[in-house]
Structure 1
């Protein structure tokens, strides 16, 4: 199930917020009602949220300066226009090291895509690093991206690569802002250097 996003009361609306709320509500209803009824209910929910949250006069916040913490189903990645791919092509992109997916939280099977990796400029910076992680156990990959790092002053590799904080981060220190303001190539190189600290690679060095 998608982790609940912590959003300040002042966070405003827009199409992206509507989609996030619809996604969360849909997942809550997934086991409660059948798919046909859920589709009808979600159409009403989407209409109400769009009317309320995108009406003129609603203050706007630039959510493009934040990274989402949610997970997306493959169909949601495509429906939201995050990639210009079919579902089969999206799966091939994972095999090619352009994106990565995880098993949905709380489930034994299936695929879910951490949403942060579709935020610009991440896709172009991410692929070269993921291709260097093809020997890394899948259980380590997402943990690597979302675990704070001391030398990044508690930023995660995902945040450093993107140059943007996760939406759950309440504030940035001046030092953290300095890390995020570095040139994209420099941020990418620092994340690549961090690959040497992956648990699987450290154990290889020891052996």
Structure 2
């Protein structure tokens, strides 16, 4: 059985159901929370796949991981459907597939900006420019990495722009070494 096909179909069904109910933003947040727990708590996946646990225990665990008592009825029904269909081992992939499909349908591009110091104005500016150029909503996650010395590294939609001082120094060093090899 193809993991990708199963996870995409379940994710699409959840997204269509959420849109029909008008609750897609809340479910998107719940699915992101659940996906984050799958990524940060490796034992969650093993526990959910454990055949010794009852369906009720698995459902309670997943509901708690998705946000606790504030989880929507749509999300509870989806999790119950996955458990009843014995598709728990695909749930991790379903969450990421749902997130991808939601972002695609809502025209949301994700990006990452790495700077040497905190730069919230730059993040806001790049989100605005990106939105104008792509006609999509651009959400940029900011990271701070002092090792790049200065400048920034921008990654968005598979593209990477490395305008960091550390990268420029590497390029100068590489050029210097190449030039000196020819002399010798």
TM-score (norm. length: structure 2): 0.33
Greater per-residue helix proportion: 2
Greater per-residue strand proportion: 2
Flag the structure with larger Rg: 2
TM-score (norm. length: structure 1): 0.31
